[in-house]
Amino acid sequence: MTRPDMVRRLPDGIAPDPYRVVVKLFVPGEDDAMVRSRAAALTARIEHLDEDATRAELKDTMRLFGDRHHDLEATFRHHFELVRHRLSAAGELSPDACQLVGAYFSHEYSVEAAALCNPSMVAHPDQSGLAEGQLRVILSLRQIGEGHLSSIGFVSAVLGPGKKIEFADRSGPLAIGQRESARHQRDLLAAGLTEEDRDDEVSGSVLDSLPEHFTDSELDQALHNIPPDLLTRPGAQHTVELLRRVAATSYAVSFPDGIPLEQRVLWPIAPGESHGMEDARFTLNAGEGLPYQATYTAYDGRTIGGRMLSTADFTHFEVAALRGPGARNKGLALFPRPVGGDRFALCRSDGETLGLTTLGASHQWDEPVLLHAPSRPWELIQVGNCGSPLETDEGWLVLTHGVGPMRRYAIGALLLDIDRPYRVIGELPGTLLEPAGSEREGYVPNVVYSCGALIHDGTLWLPYGASDHRIQIATVNLAGLLDSMLGR
What DSSP string describes 13-76? -B---TT-EEEEE--TTTTSTT----HHHHHHHHHTS-HHHHHHHHHHHHHHHGGGBSSHHHHH
* Interacting residues of 466 by C-beta distance below 8 A, sequence separation 6+: 13, 117, 435, 438, 439, 442, 447, 448, 472
* Residues 412, 284 share a domain: yes
Query: What is the number of domains present in the chain?
Result: 3
How far, in Å, CA of 478 to CA of 188, rounded? 39
Domain housing 199? 183-247
- Among 55, 78, 110, the domain-final residue is 110
pTM, two decimals, is 0.94
* Residues 311, 405 share a domain: yes
* Residues 58, 36 share a domain: yes
* Residues 173, 192 share a domain: no
The H or E element spanning position 266 is strand 264-266
| Inside any domain, residue 2 | no
- Among 78, 110, 142, the domain-final residue is 110
| Inside any domain, residue 1 | no
* Residues 155, 256 share a domain: yes
Would you say 443 and 467 are in contact if contact means Cβ atoms under 8 Å apart? yes
How far, in Å, CA of 175 to CA of 69, rounded? 7
| 488 residues of the chain, pLDDT tens digit each | 455 578 999 998 999 999 999 999 998 766 554 445 677 778 888 888 999 999 999 999 999 999 999 999 999 999 999 988 877 776 678 899 999 999 999 999 999 999 999 999 999 999 999 999 999 999 999 999 999 999 999 999 999 999 999 999 999 999 999 998 888 999 999 999 988 888 889 999 999 999 999 999 999 999 999 999 999 998 999 999 999 999 999 999 999 989 999 999 999 999 899 999 999 999 999 877 789 999 999 999 899 999 999 999 999 999 999 999 999 989 999 999 999 999 999 999 898 999 999 999 878 999 999 999 999 999 999 999 999 999 999 999 999 999 999 999 999 999 999 999 999 999 999 999 999 999 999 999 999 999 999 999 999 999 999 999 999 999 999 999 999 999 98
Would you say 416 and 372 are in contact if contact means Cβ atoms under 8 Å apart? no
- Best CA proximity match to 176, nearest among 317, 48, 271: 317
DSSP 8-state symbol, 161: S
- Among 87, 110, 133, the domain-final residue is 110
Interval 222-273: pLDDT, tens? 999 999 999 999 899 999 999 999 999 999 999 998 999 999 999 999 989 9
